[in-house]
Structure formats: structure tokens, C-alpha cells
Structure 1
Amino acid sequence: MTQHTALVVGGTSGIGLATARRLRALGADVHVVGRDERRLDEVAASDPGLVGHRADGGERAEIGAVIEAIGRIDWLVVTLAGSEGSGPFASLDLGMLRRAFDAKFWGHATTIQAALPHLAETGSITLLGAITARAGIPGTAGIAAVNGAVEAMVKPLAVELAPIRVNAVAPGGVDTPWWSAIPEPARREYFTQAARALPVGRIATADDIAEVTVMAATNPNLTGTIIETDGGARLVSMG
């Protein structure tokens, strides 16, 4: 079997790191990209089988240099996310929303474009959206727009870049460091209330989403698809 090479951009924590670990368990050579040197050091200590690189996925020169150094890539996974963009629309800071687009949408677009010359013909691109793009959750119009922009690229790119496969994963609430700005007691209270509303009765873990992400990246018959893995959030009222 030919050794596969995976690149997980945004792979130093949360869903990205869980995905990198699963890809490594499949036997792939796995590279992770992050902006935070401290997190890269932590990954080097906890997961010595992963190869870390410091770069910003939204900066073409930085991410391009990393990709150039890696060479051929079979599985590109982009899990870039920002912590901004949520809140009631009437009072939403549009400057903040622009930063949210920079962090996520432009980060995804920049990384994909930089990687294209290095993707294997049988390779794949897997993006991280969110269920907010197609749910009616109050206070999420801004972040829904960001995720909707990411997910809108999937189908046209799946046709344009074929036979390279292009998919996305759309999680709902996931217990990851994305929530770290909220004090622990408030976060736990929110998760408890949300779990009661969800059909599955629980909040997802990063590894739950990583399992689906790896399937999207590696299954040779899957392209142009956005996989909803939200615990049923889109089926009920989460307001």
C-alpha cells in the first residue's frame, strides 16, 4: 500500500487535532499546521508522530511555504475556525464579522488554492463548515454566513477539480477549545441545556466529528457532499 500524506490545517487542537490523530492511526504521514507556537509544542510532546508547522492558513506565503516543503498531499483537511461572528444581528459588530470571514472563509480559500498544485490526482479536500449554515438558530446569522460561504464552495469545486474529491463536514455544538472564552460554569450549563434539546441527548466530542471528517477525506466514492453531524440540532429549536 502506498503511504498517504495528510495535511491538517488548524490541526493543533480540537477537531483538527482529533482528525490528525485518526489519520495517523490509519498509517498516514500527517502534518499539522497552526499559528500558536505553544500549541505546536504541546502537540510535539503529546503526539510525536505528527509533524508540526507554524503558519497562518490565511497568509498565502506562509501556508504556501509549508505545502511546498511537504510536497505531494493526498488528504488536505482544513479545520480553520475563528471565535468571532456570533451575536444578535441588530447589534453585531460588522468589523468583527469581517474578521470572522478573514479567519475562516479566506483561510479556507487561501489554503485550498495554495495546495492545488501539490494535491494527488486521487486526493481529497475536506472543509469544516457548521450546522449554523442551514439552521435557524437565533444569534447566529453572522457565523451562519461565514460557514455558508465555506460550504458553498464544495459542490462547484467537486466538479471543477475532479477527480480530486471535495467534501465538507458540518458539526453542531462540539466540546472543544472554541468555547474556552466562556467561563467553565456557564459553558457547562449551556452544554447541559443544549444536550437536553438535542435528539441524541449529548454534546459531541472532537473525536465524534473527527471520525466523520476522516471518512470524508478517505472514502473514494464521496464527493460534493456536506455531512451534517450535529446531533439533530437542525431538527429542533435551539433558540
Structure 2
Amino acid sequence: MNKHTALVVGGTSGIGLATARRLQRLGADVHVVGRDAAKLAALAESDPELTGHRADGGERAEIAAVVEAVGRPGGIDWLVVALSGSEGPGPIADLDLDVLRRAFDAKFWGHITTVQAALPHLAPTGSITLIGATTARSGIPGTAGIAAINGAVEALVKPLAAELAPVRVNGVSPGLVDTPWWSGLPEEARRAYFAQAAERLPARRIATAEDIAEVVVLAATNANLTGTVIEADGGARLVSLG
């Protein structure tokens, strides 16, 4: 049986890295794309079984060079786009629109660019899994900007699943996840917010990157799943976290 080839774009930390590790444990040949040379160097030390590539998912030439190399000879079986960024939150009255445009570039346009570049190199029975967030369908004050970004990403799933069949396309929509995305918040403030939010969440806990990676791997590998956005948010969409 031939080994599956997986490409995780935005895979040097958080959900992307947890996904790459889980796919590797399934026996896949896993390639990880990131922009940060220091993170890629750390990855080479901590996870030598993963193959790192330095590229920007939003730069067509850079990502195209990676997917062309990774896709030979049998194609990419599982493409996971885990691009993210910390910019975009804030009250709409004070939101810097240049910052929001930059956030759209990093996540939404990064997803589009990566998918376009990868299409010629996907295996005929391959899959694409996109990562959005529960802000796409929640009413949390101060999240209009990132809600729009994640909503745009998740809106790609159904039309692409129909258009690209038999390649499968799915999305995963996490809620609160304890990852480096929160690193801009002081540790004490982050812990206090997580504790307060966990009391309101139906799951009564904050997710780990590994929790979400388990769902991403399901979306990527299950041969009967397509056109679906899996809400892995601990029930955040059911309650008010504002």
C-alpha cells in the first residue's frame, strides 16, 4: 500500500502542527509549510519526521513551488490549509481597516492562493480541509472583522466540494482553543478569560490544538465526508461569550 502524502500549510504551530503530527502517526508522508525560519528550524529539531518548507501561503510562486515538489509523483492526498493570524479583532468603530485588509490577505486570500496552486497536484481521490472559526456564525462583540474573514473562508467549502468533486472539500470551525494565537494577551489575562469562558461553554472546557486536530484529520481522511463544515467549538455558538 502506497504511503499517503499530506501537506499542511500553516503547520509550524497550534492546530496546524498538531494536525501534521497526527497525520504522521497515521503513516503519512507529511510536509509542513511555514513562513517563519525560526519555527521551521525548531520543527526540524522537535519533529524530524516532518518535512518543513519555507513559503508564504499567500504568495503564489512560493506555494506553487512547494506543492509541485511535494505532489510528485502520486499527488497530494490530504491538503490542510491552517493559515491564520492575530489581526482583525476589535470594536468596529475603532477597527483599522488597513489592518483588517492585511488580515484578509493573510487568511482568506492565503487560503484561495494555496488551493489554486495545489489543484494541479492533488491526487484524484484527495481532499482539501480549510480552517475557519466559530466567529463566522457567532454574535461576539468585537469580532466583526474576524467573523467576516472566517465566514468568507467557510463559504468556500460547499461550492468547492461541488466544483472539484471527486476531490473532497471540508472545513473545520474551532471555537476557543489554547494555542499561540492568544500569545498577544498577557498570561494572567488569558487564563482568567479562559476560566470565565469555560464556565459558559456547554463543554465546560477550552479546547486544545490536539482536540481540533483530531477533527481536522477526520475531515481530511474520511472518504464519505465532503461539503461539510464541522463545528468543533465546544458549544460556543450556543451561548453568549461577549
TM range (shorter): over 0.9
Query: What are the equivalent positions in structure 2 for 1:83-98 lying under 5 Å apart?
Result: 83-98=86-101
* Mapped partners of 1:188, 1:236: distance in 2: 20
Amino acid at match of 1:191: F
Amino acid at match of 1:19: T
* Mapped partners of 2:109, 2:180: distance in 1: 21
Deviation per CA, 1:47-85, whole angstroms, max 9, x where unpaired? 110000000000000001111111210000000001111
Deviation per CA, 1:71-105, whole angstroms, max 9, x where unpaired? 21000000000111101111111111101100000
**Corresponding position: 1:60 with 2:63:** no
Paired positions, count: 239
* Mapped partners of 2:184, 2:117: distance in 1: 31
**Corresponding position: 1:208 with 2:211:** yes
* Mapped partners of 1:126, 1:172: distance in 2: 17
**Corresponding position: 1:192 with 2:214:** no
Tell me the TM-score normalized by structure 2: 0.98
> For residue 70 of structure 2, what is the aligned residue in structure 1?
70
Amino acid at match of 2:4: H
SS in 1 for 2:216: helix
Q: Unaligned 5+ residue runs, structure 1?
A: none
* Mapped partners of 1:63, 1:215: distance in 2: 25
* Mapped partners of 1:94, 1:77: distance in 2: 28
SS in 2 for 1:120: strand
* Mapped partners of 1:155, 1:87: distance in 2: 29
> For residue 24 of structure 1, what is the aligned residue in structure 2?
24
* Mapped partners of 1:25, 1:84: distance in 2: 32
| C-alpha deviation, 1:30, in angstroms | 0.1
* Mapped partners of 2:172, 2:70: distance in 1: 25
Amino acid at match of 1:86: P
Amino acid at match of 1:219: N
SS in 1 for 2:2: coil
RMSD between superposed Cα atoms in Å? 0.5
> For residue 131 of structure 1, what is the aligned residue in structure 2?
134
* Mapped partners of 2:2, 2:218: distance in 1: 18
| C-alpha deviation, 1:199, in angstroms | 0.7
SS in 2 for 1:211: helix
Tell me the TM-score normalized by structure 1: 0.99
Deviates more, 1:168-177 or 1:87-96: 87-96
**Corresponding position: 1:120 with 2:123:** yes
Amino acid at match of 2:13: S
Identity %: 78
